[in-house]
Amino acid sequence: MPPIDTPHLHPRNPGTPLDLAWFDKIAVNTPAATARAATLATRRSVKKEWQAAWLVNAIQCIDLTTLAGDDTEARVARLCAKARRPLADHILEGLGLDAVKTGAVCVYPTMVGAAVRALDGSGIPVASVATGFPAGLMPLNLRLAEILYAVEQGAAEIDIVINRAHVLQGDWAALYDEIAAMREACGDAHIKAILATGELGSLRNVYKASMVAMQAGADFIKTSTGKETVNATLPVSLTMVRALRDYGARTGYKIGFKPAGGLKTAKDAIAWQVLMKEELGRDWLRSDLFRIGASSLLGDIERQLEHYVTGRYASGSRHALA
């Protein structure tokens, strides 16, 4: 197996025993969460060189993703080339930068080997979805086998999906046991727990599922597969970030956060970074604690940075990904 090249700098979350008292009586004020989230994209104006700096930082936190049924090794290779060099040379020169790269590349398990080869020597880790993505409804032994396969192929990070039925039925022990088994199967690979929040029914369930995932040893909690009807939203992200903050206060461990699905514009990238900075602090503006699951987002960021450098907007087709 190729060596794992991971950017994670902080101690891993070892998890805790399942403790329902941490979240059983939690209440989430949905109108208040919605109102707080609404301020993130409007209250703070980021312009000119400051906007450019935030957008460059966002690129470094992107898990550049392809999860299509018609993925090929050639497409993955092109995506990896973009991950290595996400900005055109004239934009880098205009920004005064030598190089920028994305936080990771995320693919299906069967494409991990191709991605590892394409990223060799870059320092960019390969993330793989697993466990019956996106529904997570395969038998547990097959979900664990898929993790083992992806790790064997060289994945440094595994984006697992939870069984939403456990949340909807309040079977927290079953959810905990499954995620803990997945964490064990990951070994040294970091585990991102996808909650598929658009299918959990309430922000209260989102908080509870977040806490159970962290107690079971998740290194990151992630909003969505990108395949749900509703994916990452700021109120959901705020709820998850508050759970993450509460877990850190109890245990001392820093857990990462990954919004995915629905982040398509440079404005979105800034809004979610503002959320991280205001709720958690500057540490969560680094790729070891913050990722954005996206594909088309990078094209809009590159377009905005080209405008900053040249004063002109390019056609969206000029910044195609793969």
Strand order across the 190-194 sheet: 256-258, 220-222, 190-194, 157-161, 126-130, 104-107, 62-65, 292-294
Q: Provide the b/e sequence for 37-52 (b: ≥16 CB within 10 Å).
A: beebeeeeebeeeebb
Straight-line distance from the first to the last Cα atom of the chain, in angstroms, rounded to the nearest whole number: 27
Q: Can you spell out the DSSP letters for 252-294? A: ----EEE-BSS--SHHHHHHHHHHHHHHT-GGGGSTTTB-EEE
- Evaluate whether 167 touches 137 at the Cβ level (below 8 Å): no
What SS3 state is found at 321?
Answer: coil
DSSP one-letter code for 139: -
The tokens of 297 are what?
């987002």
The tokens of 30 are what?
């949905």
- Evaluate whether 244 touches 208 at the Cβ level (below 8 Å): no
Q: Could you tell me which residues come within 8 angstroms of residue 29 by beta carbon, excluding any fewer than 6 positions away?
A: none
Looking at the DSSP bridge assignments, the partners of residue 312 are: none
- Evaluate whether 261 touches 233 at the Cβ level (below 8 Å): no
- Evaluate whether 253 touches 11 at the Cβ level (below 8 Å): yes
- Residues carrying an active site annotation: 159, 222, 258
